[in-house]
Chains A and B, each alone.
Chain A
Amino acid sequence: MPFRISRLGYVEVRVLDLDDALDFYTNVLGLRLVERLGKKAYLKTWDDQLAYCVILTESDTPGMVRAAFRTVDPEDVDYYEKKLKQYEVPYEVIPEDYKRGKALRFKTPSGHTFEIYYEIEVPGNFLPKESPDPWPRDLKSDAINPPKIDHTLITAPDPTKMIKFCEEVLEFRATEYVVNSDGQPVAAWLYQARQQPHDLAIIPGREAGMHHFAFHISSAQDIFKAADIMVMNDVKIDWGPGRHGITRGSGIYFFDPFGNRIETFGGYTAYLYDPGAKPIIWTEETMGKGVFYYERRLVESFLTVYT
C-alpha cells in the first residue's frame, strides 16, 4: 500500500495572550512569523517548505484546535474522502483557508479535529534554491530554532479505538505500541511517508487533549543548547534533556507560557523502520522505561498534565 500522507503539516494551538505567545514562539523557540491576522498568527520553522506549520489562536483555554496532515499527491485527498464515506465518518469539505486550498475536516473518535489537505502555498524555506548553505545566517543566536515540526501526541478516552481508526481509515503505520494484558494497544506511535519514528502518537486520556507537539532538534549539542535557552528565559522544563525508550528519541518536554507542552525531539539513534517489519511492543511493566528511558519509571505528570 502506498503512503498517501506525507507528514504532520500544521497544528493550531490556543494561547491565552497572542502578544506574549508571539514573544515566546519567535524569540525563545525561534519560529518565524508569517503573518498575524487579528486573533490568529501563522508561523513556520526556518526549514519548512510550506506556508506555515503552527497557527496560534487567542482563546480563554489553551490546547489544540486542530491537527492537519498533508497528503503526498493532490488526488490522495479524494482517496481519503472516499475512505471517510466508506467508514461513515462525518466530514466537511473546507474549500480554502489561509494560504491553503481544499481540506477535509472531521472529528476523530478521540474528539480531535483533523484535517487532510494537499494544496498549500509552498514558498520554500529560508535558504536559496540554488547552491544553499546548510542554514540561514540570520538565525537568532539565543533562540532554539528547530528546523521542522515533528509530531504530536494526543490523548484519547478509548485509545484502542482511536489507534484502530488511525490505522484503518487514515492508514497510519505503527512503529511501536504499548499493549495491555489482553494484548490490546493502549498507546501507539504512528508514522507516514517520512518514515520517522512517528508523526502522530496516542495515549490514554481526556477527549481532545493535547499532550504535546514537537519540533525536531537532533544533535546532543543542540538539545543541550535548547535546554540552556529554556532556563535563560525562565521556561518551565517538564522533563529532560532525556531519552525515550519508545522511538529512542532524545528530547526535552517544556511548556509554553500557557501550559501547552512542547517537545524538542530527535536523535533517534539509527532508528530505521522498514514497512512490513513487526512493530515494537512495550508492556505495562516496561512502559516506564519506554517513556522515560533513564528514569525507568513513568512520572504521574506524564499522564495527568496536559492541555
Chain B
Amino acid sequence: MSEVRTAFKIHLLPNNITFICHEGQTILDAALRAGIELPHGCTRGGCGVCKIRVKGKVDFGRVSRAMLTDQEKESGFCLSCRAVPLEDLEISLIDGASAKVIQHDEFYSFLFKTRTNL
C-alpha cells in the first residue's frame, strides 16, 4: 500500500520543465530535488536571493518584509525557499533567464535518481 500524497505541478519557464511539489514542500526544495538549480541563499526567508516570479496561489511563508514586500506578493513574486504551493504553479526567474538544470545521470544520483540539498 503506498501512501497517497497531494502534489502540485510546477511549470518552469522558459526552461519548459514541469516538476512535482508535494503538499507542504517549498518550491525551492522541490526544484533542487528535481535537479533544477533555482538561486538561493539563506533558505530561511531572510536574504531575498531566491526571489522568483510565480503565477498561482502560494503560502508565502515566514519571510523578511524588506525582501518580499506586500506589493511584491500581490504582483506575483515569492521567496522560493519559503513559498509552498496551494495549486499548480508557473514560475520563472526574476531576469527571465533559464534555470540551470543538473542532469541526474551525469553524476552521483545514478544510484537513487534523486538528490538532497537542504
B5-13, B42-50, B84-92 - interface stretch: B42-50
Instruction: Select which of B44, B49, B66 is within 8 A of A63 by beta carbon.
Output: B66
**In the complex, which residues of chain B have a beta carbon less than 8 angstroms from the beta carbon of A236?**
42-44, 118
Tell me the residues in window 79-112 of chain B with beta carbons closer than 8 Å to chain A beta carbons.
none
Chain B residue at smallest Cβ distance from A306 = B47
Report the bound CA distance from A134 to B35 in whole Å.
49
Chain B interface (Cβ < 8 Å from any Cβ of A): 41-47, 49, 62-67, 118
Which of B46, B64, B118 has the largest number of chain A CB atoms within 10 A? B46
- A selection of 16 A-B contacts at a CB cut-off of 8 Å is A16-B64, A60-B65, A62-B64, A63-B46, A63-B64, A236-B43, A236-B44, A255-B42, A259-B42, A259-B45, A259-B64, A260-B46, A301-B49, A304-B41, A305-B47, A307-B47
**In the complex, which residues of chain B have a beta carbon less than 8 angstroms from the beta carbon of A307?**
42, 46-47, 64
Please give the distance in Å from A72's CB to the nearest CB on chain B.
35
A304 touches B49 (CB 8 A): yes
Please give the distance in Å from B39's CB to the nearest CB on chain A.
9
Contacts A17-B62, A62-B46, A259-B46 given; 19 further ones with Cβ under 8 A? Answer: A16-B62, A16-B64, A61-B67, A63-B64, A236-B42, A236-B43, A236-B44, A255-B44, A258-B44, A258-B46, A258-B62, A259-B43, A259-B44, A259-B64, A304-B41, A304-B47, A304-B49, A305-B41, A306-B47
**In the complex, which residues of chain A have a beta carbon less than 8 angstroms from the beta carbon of B67?**
61
A257 touches B44 (CB 8 A): yes
**C-beta contact mask, A1-44 vs B, less than 8 Å → 1, else 0?**
00000000000000011000000000000000000000000000
Chain A interface (Cβ < 8 Å from any Cβ of B): 16-17, 60-63, 236, 238, 255-261, 301, 304-307
Please give the distance in Å from A263's CB to the nearest CB on chain B.
13
**In the complex, which residues of chain A have a beta carbon less than 8 angstroms from the beta carbon of B64?**
16, 60-63, 258-259, 307
Report the bound CA distance from A261 to B41 in whole Å.
11
**In the complex, which residues of chain A have a beta carbon less than 8 angstroms from the beta carbon of B118?**
236
Which of A16, A62, A260 has the largest number of chain B CB atoms within 10 A? A62
Please give the distance in Å from A82's CB to the nearest CB on chain B.
36
Please give the distance in Å from A213's CB to the nearest CB on chain B.
14
Which of A60, A63, A305 has the largest number of chain B CB atoms within 10 A? A305
B66 touches A16 (CB 8 A): no
**In the complex, which residues of chain A have a beta carbon less than 8 angstroms from the beta carbon of B65?**
60-61
Report the bound CA distance from A40 to B63 in whole Å.
19
Please give the distance in Å from A4's CB to the nearest CB on chain B.
34
Chain B residue at smallest Cβ distance from A255 = B42
**In the complex, which residues of chain A have a beta carbon less than 8 angstroms from the beta carbon of B62?**
16-17, 258
Report the bound CA distance from A306 to B41 in whole Å.
8
Chain A residue at smallest Cβ distance from B47 = A305
Considering the complex of A and B, which 8 residue pairs feature the smallest CB-CB distances, nearest first? A259-B46, A305-B41, A259-B42, A60-B65, A259-B44, A61-B66, A305-B47, A62-B46
Report the bound CA distance from A198 to B46 in whole Å.
25
**In the complex, which residues of chain A have a beta carbon less than 8 angstroms from the beta carbon of B44?**
236, 255-259
Chain A residue at smallest Cβ distance from B42 = A259
**In the complex, which residues of chain B have a beta carbon less than 8 angstroms from the beta carbon of A259?**
41-47, 64
**In the complex, which residues of chain A have a beta carbon less than 8 angstroms from the beta carbon of B41?**
259, 301, 304-305
Instruction: Take A62-B64, A63-B66 as given contacts and tell me if A305 and B42 are in contact as well, using a CB distance cutoff of 8 Å.
Output: yes
Chain B residue at smallest Cβ distance from A59 = B65
Chain B residue at smallest Cβ distance from A260 = B46
Instruction: Select which of A17, A61, A261 is within 8 A of B42 by beta carbon.
Output: A261
Chain B residue at smallest Cβ distance from A238 = B42
